[in-house]
Each structure stands twice: as structure tokens, then as C-alpha cells.
């Protein structure tokens, strides 16, 4: 057995869980990165996976692997950087135990991240949101379930992993109605529910009580829906909604788009960015600042407040008679 295998076993069975306390999703992402890396090294070097050693995990190998992800697998810069983070995480823990590979590991840790194109936040307008909520068939159980799920997602901004993990006990419809979840970084938070959301959730939960399992939004046998299942259901309803709201056809709508929509609704209502960060479960407001750049109406409102009182509100429009305008200069 090479040094790589015990290093990976030590990290994933001990450090990741007991010391670092990483979430299951993060651990799965790190695991998948190393599986891809080992398979790539096996294919490119001809060395069997069990024979790959720490000395082969050098800066050149990592750089070519990351280039392969972009060129051959079509990964974005952010995905490339996430894979690099996973590689660094394991090697940083391995370094103290294997000083003989210190130089090689240090050069891998120094591999720079890729600077990507700034992301553009996609969110739904009021009309698009309503069209999406009206898309599920109210005459079927799955339609009523999906409408309740979409309503909750758009109002609360829960992550897809938080939605799929919800149980019926996490939704409280009494006085001070709210939904609780344990989100990214194992952070617990409670999000209030509006009266409009309750009008959808309350009858749904009453009907849900007659079905097996504890999942808030279950599959056919009462089990929690998977992330892929939610995305498939959303894609189906977006397709239906596009027939009545064509603007949806020009947007790439995912479950995360609904989270962006919740954030933008709060921002447009004048809620402070710091409060929105707490609402979404962000570690700090820097993750929330992206919403400030997403809607021109917010910027327009800001500049309107700085306008000279003598200036008529509105966008400048030149006079129709250009010659008269030039003469007046």
C-alpha cells in the first residue's frame, strides 16, 4: 500500500468528521474530487490506482488535471477552484506526517486558483413567480405537494439541501409560524412564514399527515426527495409556466434561482443586506452583496435620492430639435 491510500483514509474517516466537522455534502464533494483525480492519473500515467503515491501528486499533475476538467469536462472556473480546494484540504493535513514530500505538497498548495467571470444572479419577477406557482396541477397529490414546496422555497430562500432534509416537525404553523433547518456549516436557523405561505402549507400538511414517512415533501413511498428529483420537478413546472409567461423561457431556472428570488424580494422591499445574510444563512454579508448588483431598479432608486431637487425625475431624453439644442449651447 502506498502513502496516498492511508492518507486519504485518515482524512475522510477521522479528520473530516471528528476534527473539522465538515457537512456530508462537503465530504461527498471532496471524495468525488479525489476519485476523479485518481482516475485521471491512472489513465494518463498507466499506473494502477492502488500504486499511485504521494510523490505523483505534484503541481504539474494537479495543473494538468484542473485543465482537463475545464477543457474536457466543461467545468467552470468556480468548479475548478472547488476541486483544487478539495485537493489542498487533504494534502494540508497530510503534510506534517510526511516531511519527505514537503516540497512536492507545498508546490501543490501554491497552485493558484482560476479567476472566473463574475456571476450574474438570475431571479424571477413577480409575474414569473406567480406563473411558476400556478403551474403544478392542483387536482393531483404531487401537484399540491410541488406547489407547497415551491411556495416555501420562494418565500424562505432555503437551499435545496435544506428543503430535501425537511420533516413535517420542522414546519410550525401555529403562533409565530416558522420553519427550522440545519444548513450549511451545521448552522441552525429559523425562518418566519408569511400568512400567504401558510394558506398553502396548512391544508397541504393536513393532507400530508395521512401519508407514510416524516419527510415534509415526500416521494411515492414517503422518502425524502433527492436534489435531482426536485430539479426535475422544477424543470417540468417551468416548462408549463413558460406557456403563460414567455419570459421564463429565456432564463435558466434552478432551485437555487428560487433562493435568489427570495433574496431579491427582500432587498427590493428595503430589507438591510445584513438581515438578508442572516435570513439566507450566509457566514457574512460579502456573499449577499452580489444581490445589490442584480437589479437596476435598486440602483435607480439610489441615484434618485441623490438628484438635485430642481431636476425633474426620470431618465434624460434629448430635445427633438437637435439644431436648436446645439444653438443654445
The residues assigned a catalytic role are 159, 184, 256, 259, 282, 291
DSSP letter string, 70-113: HHTS---HHHHHHHHHHHHHHHHHHGGG-GGGHHHHHHHHTPPP
Residues 6+ apart with CB under 8 A from 231: 160, 254, 255
User: 164: burial class by Cβ within 10 Å (0-12, 13-18, 19+)?
Assistant: buried
Which three-class secondary structure state does DSSP give residue 294?
A: coil
In the numeric block, the cell 503515491 is attached to 53
For residue 158, what is its C-alpha cell? Answer: 432555503
For residue 170, what is its C-alpha cell? Answer: 420542522
Measure the CA–CA gap between 114 and 83, rounded to whole angstroms: 11
For residue 161, what is its C-alpha cell? Answer: 439541501
Measure the CA–CA gap between 278 and 283, rounded to whole angstroms: 8
What stretch of H or E contains 280?
helix 273-280
Measure the CA–CA gap between 84 and 115, rounded to whole angstroms: 13
Residue 305 has, within 13 A of its CA and on its CB side, a CA count of: 5
Q: How many helices (H) and strands (E) does the chain have?
A: 14, 3
In the numeric block, the cell 423561457 is attached to 249
Amino acid at each position: 500500500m502506498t502513502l496516498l491510500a492511508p492518507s486519504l483514509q485518515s482524512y475522510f474517516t477521522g479528520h473530516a468528521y471528528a476534527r473539522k466537522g465538515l457537512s456530508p455534502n462537503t465530504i461527498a464533494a471532496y471524495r468525488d474530487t479525489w476519485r476523479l483525480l485518481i482516475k485521471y492519473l491512472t489513465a494518463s500515467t498507466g499506473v494502477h490506482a492502488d500504486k499511485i503515491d504521494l510523490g505523483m501528486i505534484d503541481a504539474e499533475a494537479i495543473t494538468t488535471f484542473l485543465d482537463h476538467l475545464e477543457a474536457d469536462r466543461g467545468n467552470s472556473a468556480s468548479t475548478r477552484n472547488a476541486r483544487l480546494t478539495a485537493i489542498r484540504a487533504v494534502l494540508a493535513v497530510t503534510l506534517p506526517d510526511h516531511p519527505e514530500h514537503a516540497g512536492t505538497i507545498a508546490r501543490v498548495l501554491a497552485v493558484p486558483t482560476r479567476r472566473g467571470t463574475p456571476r450574474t444572479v438570475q431571479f424571477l419577477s413577480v409575474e414569473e413567480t406567480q406563473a411558476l406557482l400556478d403551474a403544478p396541477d392542483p387536482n393531483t397529490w404531487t401537484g399540491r405537494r410541488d406547489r407547497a414546496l415551491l411556495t416555501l422555497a420562494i418565500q424562505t430562500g432555503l437551499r435545496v439541501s435544506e428543503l430535501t432534509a425537511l420533516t413535517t416537525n420542522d414546519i410550525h404553523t401555529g403562533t409565530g409560524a416558522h420553519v427550522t433547518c440545519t444548513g450549511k456549516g451545521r448552522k441552525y436557523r429559523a425562518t418566519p412564514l408569511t400568512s400567504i405561505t401558510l394558506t398553502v402549507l396548512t391544508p397541504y400538511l393536513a393532507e400530508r399527515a395521512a401519508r407514510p414517512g416524516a419527510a415534509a415533501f415526500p416521494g411515492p413511498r414517503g422518502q425524502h426527495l433527492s436534489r435531482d428529483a426536485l430539479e426535475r420537478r422544477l424543470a417540468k413546472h417551468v416548462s408549463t409556466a413558460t406557456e403563460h409567461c414567455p419570459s421564463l423561457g429565456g432564463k435558466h431556472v434552478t432551485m437555487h434561482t428560487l433562493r435568489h428570488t427570495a433574496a431579491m424580494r427582500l432587498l427590493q422591499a428595503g430589507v438591510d443586506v445584513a438581515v438578508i445574510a442572516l435570513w439566507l444563512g450566509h457566514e457574512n454579508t460579502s456573499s449577499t452583496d452580489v444581490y445589490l448588483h442584480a437589479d437596476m431598479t435598486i440602483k435607480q432608486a439610489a441615484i434618485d435620492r441623490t438628484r438635485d431637487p430642481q431636476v425633474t425625475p426620470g431618465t434624460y431624453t434629448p430635445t427633438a430639435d437637435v439644431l436648436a439644442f446645439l444653438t443654445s449651447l
